Amino acid sequence: MAVNPNPGILQYPRIRKSPYFYSSREHGVALYSVYNHTYHPRHYGDPVAEYWHLLNAVTLWDVGVERQVEITGPDAFDFTNMLVSRDLTKCKVGQAKYVFVTAPDGGIINDPVLLRLGENHFWLSLADSDVLLWAKGLAHANGMNVQISEPDVGPMQIQGPNSTGVLVDLFGDSIHDIPYYYVREYELDGMDVVVSRTGFSAEMGYEIYLRNASRDASRLWDAVWEAGQAHDLKVIGPCHIRRIEAGILSWGNDIWYDTNPFEVGYGFEQTWMVDLQQEADFVGKEALKKVAEEGISRKLVGLHIDGPGLGSFNDGAMIDFFPVLDEAQEIGRVTSACYSPRLERNIGFAMVPLAYAELGTDLLVRTPHGVASAQVTTSPFIDPGKDLPKGLPVDPVATAGDGAEVAG
């Protein structure tokens, strides 16, 4: 029997469509996956060329798969503060936060970007899991006076160094006044949008959340595409090479229901993602207090992996986790890996027992090319302080993880 390495995916009505589905198809989608029950354009033919265009110009992403959960009503603040592990008394109206939605055992149900649009008005811009049902059940069980729904909102991302120019041409100079992880509302030719200075690239970038998306999506897509032509805009899929370089987690790959926030490195142990000192209770607080007291037994680490190139991650080259070995014994797994053209080497993340998490630890990884040597290193691999999306000066050589040199 012969294995078909590229069997494709059935396109049919029961898989949901992004509001931009038909617009993004016109740019030649080459590969879809399914994310939040929705077709997700992964690339348009050359993921490495898309990576370089993201670094050097500006890119437009159809991320309608980031389904929104809207929470309103008299108890909306208290309910949302119970839903996530950050202290939302520190989140102003008009601000956004990267948050974990945690389960009673401390596992990560989702890692959305939260937008606070009013005192009692929140959007959760979701990763790939069913938070709407979880939130509805939690509110019902606790008798809270909230309305929880999926609004008719379609997000898109505009990422890359020229992104500010595109947004200024669309909305004016006030775009310069939006700080990192803040939002502002605009009206564009009768279309109501919320612009946030956020994104999945760790480059300068924005997300545009379109209200009445089922009516206006194609009009907004065309307006952004037209404004972008003066700035060398191209349509691409979410760039996982850049995501891995930046140490950005992918729910379903690097984190899951069985992963607690203390296991995922990043410095989250230093409390800003899990605020155990806040007065308010949140789901999973007691379990995470216990983890904080007793410690963890495994940790997500950065890896350099030797051997032939491992692809771009979003090209289908990594269809399963790679086993991590200590001699012949499997002790963990690589959760994301790719070849970084700038670092000129394979990089990735691996979940390993704490005894194997020290910097410089030598490991073995079973890749599609065979068993390769690997070394535990620092992550993020480039710009660990996220200076690029903050608009601060960056020296890529000085900020590359573990003293790595940056090519190109």
pLDDT (tens digit per residue) in 36-56? 999 999 999 999 999 999 999
pLDDT at 266 over 90: no
Task: Say yes or no: 187 and 56 in one domain.
Answer: yes
The 10s digit of each residue's pLDDT in 286-335 is 999 999 999 999 999 999 999 999 999 999 999 999 999 998 899 999 99
Domain presence at residue 168: yes
Residue 341 has pLDDT above 80, yes or no: yes
pLDDT bucket at 269, cuts 50 / 70 / 90: low
List the structure tokens of 238: 């979410």
What is the average pLDDT across 340-346? Answer: 98
Does the residue 198 lie in any domain?
A: yes
Same domain, 233 and 364: no
Within a domain: residue 220? yes
174/311 same-domain check: no
Q: Which of 242, 262, 285 is the last residue of a domain?
A: 242
Higher pLDDT, 268 or 278: 278
Whether residue 395 is predicted with pLDDT greater than 70 in this model: the reply is: no
pTM recorded for the entire structure: 0.95
Residue 384, pLDDT above cutoff 70: yes
Q: Is residue 372 part of a domain?
A: yes
For every residue of 162-182, DSSP letters joined together read THHHHHHHHH-GGGGG--TTB
How far apart are the C-alpha atoms of 288 and 400, rounded to whole Å?
32
Q: Which of 197, 227, 242 is the last residue of a domain?
A: 242
Q: Are 122 and 99 a contacting pair, CB within 8 Å?
A: no
pLDDT given at position 408 = 35
Asked whether residue 81 is assigned to any structural domain, the reply reads no
pLDDT confidence of residue 407? 37
* 393 pLDDT above the threshold of 90: no
CB distance 128 to 94 below 8 Å = no
- Mean pLDDT over each residue of the chain, to the nearest integer: 94
Does residue 173 belong to any structural domain of this protein?
yes
Q: Is the peptide bond before 380 cis (omega within 30 degrees of 0)?
A: yes
Per-residue model confidence (pLDDT) at position 1: 84
Q: Is 207 annotated as a binding residue?
A: yes
336 in the same domain as 227: no
- Could you give the C-alpha distances from 268 to 264, 272, 276, in angstroms and in order? 8, 6, 12
Residues 177 and 314 grouped into a single domain: no
One domain, residues 355 and 222: no
Pairing state between β 233-235 and 58-62: parallel
For residue 103, the tally of other CB atoms under 10 A from its CB is 17
Asked if the model's pLDDT at residue 211 lies above 60, the reply is yes
My answer on whether 20 and 165 are in the same domain is yes
The residue range of the domain holding 372 is 297-383
User: What's 405's DSSP letter?
Assistant: P
Q: What is the mean pLDDT of residues 61-65?
A: 98
299 forms beta bridges with 352
Distance CA 318, CA 1 (A): 22
Domain final residue pick, 223, 242, 261: 242
Reported confidence tier of residue 61, pLDDT bands at 50, 70, 90: very high
Say how many domains are in the chain.
Answer: 2
124 assigned to some structural domain: no
pLDDT at residue 406 greater than cutoff 50:
no
- CATH number for the domain spanning 329: value is 2.40.30.110
Tell me what the mean pLDDT of segment 382-405 comes to. Answer: 70
Confidence of residue 396 (pLDDT cuts 50, 70, 90): low
**pLDDT bracket for residue 79 (50, 70, 90):** very high
Of 76-85, 125-134, 287-296, 390-399, the range with the lowest mean pLDDT is 390-399
Q: Residue 22: give its domain's CATH number.
A: 3.30.1360.120
Is 40 inside a domain boundary? yes
* pLDDT grade for 271, boundaries at 50, 70 and 90: low
Please report, as a single letter, which amino acid is at residue 361.
Answer: T
Cα 2 versus chain centre, distance: 36
Residue with tokens 């007291």: 293
